Amino acid sequence: MLPGTLNMLILQVLSRKKANGYEIAKMIEERSEDALQVDHGSLYPALRRLEANGWVETEWAMSATNRNARYYSLTAAGRKQIGVERNRWREAVLAVSRVMGPA
Amino acid sequence: MLPGTLNMLILQVLSRKKANGYEIAKMIEERSEDALQVDHGSLYPALRRLEANGWVETEWAMSATNRNARYYSLTAAGRKQIGVERNRWREAVLAVSRVMGPA
DNA sequence: CAATGATAGGTAGATTATCTACCGGTAGAG
DNA sequence: CTCTACCGGTAGATAATCTACCTATCATTG
């Protein structure tokens, strides 16, 4: 997992639907075709940061598998933040590409 | 600067020619069109790591501007390492792209 | 000749984000 | 009743970066 990308990835998957931590990790792993493994020792602290920044909000609810789970959903600020992170990522990749050259 | 990319960027610029720290930073900045700023508090520790890993070797020499400078050049292991880092980077970008989707 | 900016190398300490390794618990299948 | 999947968390180590500081010389300009 590239440092600095986890926040963006979490916000992205939450832009589709609210989810609990376990589901967020699974979605990132599945959508990356298992290329990204979300360590849950990284995930929960990251979710705390997102909440502290006002980008996600939480509520406790029963999961589809009948467990008590903390659900995360994007705030309005969180939706804006996705754009910020996307642009930062795109520019970072472009900048690295310019240095690394083709192939 | 994305964490985890500096080593690769340094190895890449050294694959063209040997250079001192100041020149390495300038080359990365110029080739990225100033999108990447190489903090020299990050650069020198990174160069130490690369040397400790046996990917670069150093010698002191006079620079083009007539100053005593430590020049870095790739070892055979360093050349191989570029490929390793390139592949890792390419796969990481691809994985993130799959999660983030188009646009 | 003195001041300044560009060149050059370095470190200490703080910050940030990640990973490792633990802890706790429940639901449901077999 | 045991085992797997599900679910949430933290403490401490690790790694890489950034901030801020130090030193020094060369070359140009006033």
Q: What is the pLDDT of residue A103?
A: 75
Summarize pLDDT for A19-53 with one digit per residue, the tens.
Answer: 999 999 999 999 999 999 999 999 999 999 999 99
One-letter identity of residue A87:
N
Domain boundaries, chain A: 5-100
Residues in A touching B31 (Cβ below 8 Å): 98-99
Per-residue model confidence (pLDDT) at position B74: 98
Closest nucleotide relative to residue A41's CA, C1' based: C19
Measured between beta carbons, which residues in chain B are less than 8 angstroms from residue A16?
none
Q: Is A3 helix (H, G, I), strand (E, B) or coil?
A: coil
Task: Give residue B103's pLDDT.
Answer: 75
Residue B75 CA and nucleotide D18 C1' are separated, in Å, by 29
CATH architecture for segment(s) B5-100: Orthogonal Bundle (1.10)
Q: Summarize the confidence of residues A5-32 as an average pLDDT.
A: 98
Cβ-contact B59, B70 below 8 angstroms: yes
String of DSSP letters for chain B: --TT-HHHHHHHHHTT--EEHHHHHHHHHHHTTTS----HHHHHHHHHHHHHTTSEEEEEEE-TTS-EEEEEEE-HHHHHHHHHHHHHHHHHHHHHHHHH---
Nucleotides of strand D within 7 Å of the protein's CB atoms: 6-12, 16-21, 25-27
Q: How many angstroms separate the first and last alpha carbons of chain A?
A: 22
Mean per-residue pLDDT over chain A, rounded: 97
Measure Cα distances from B64 to A65, B27, B30, B76 in Å. 68, 15, 18, 26
Q: Is the dihedral of CA A24, A27, A31, A35 positive or negative?
A: positive
Residue type at B70 in one-letter notation? R
> What is the model's pTM?
0.95
3-state secondary structure of A8: helix
Burial class (CB in 10 A: 0-12, 13-18, 19+), B10: buried
Question: Which residue positions in chain B have pLDDT lower than 70?
Answer: none
Question: For residue B102, what pLDDT is reported?
Answer: 86
SS3 state at A53: coil
Give the nearest chain A residue to B85 (CA atoms): A100
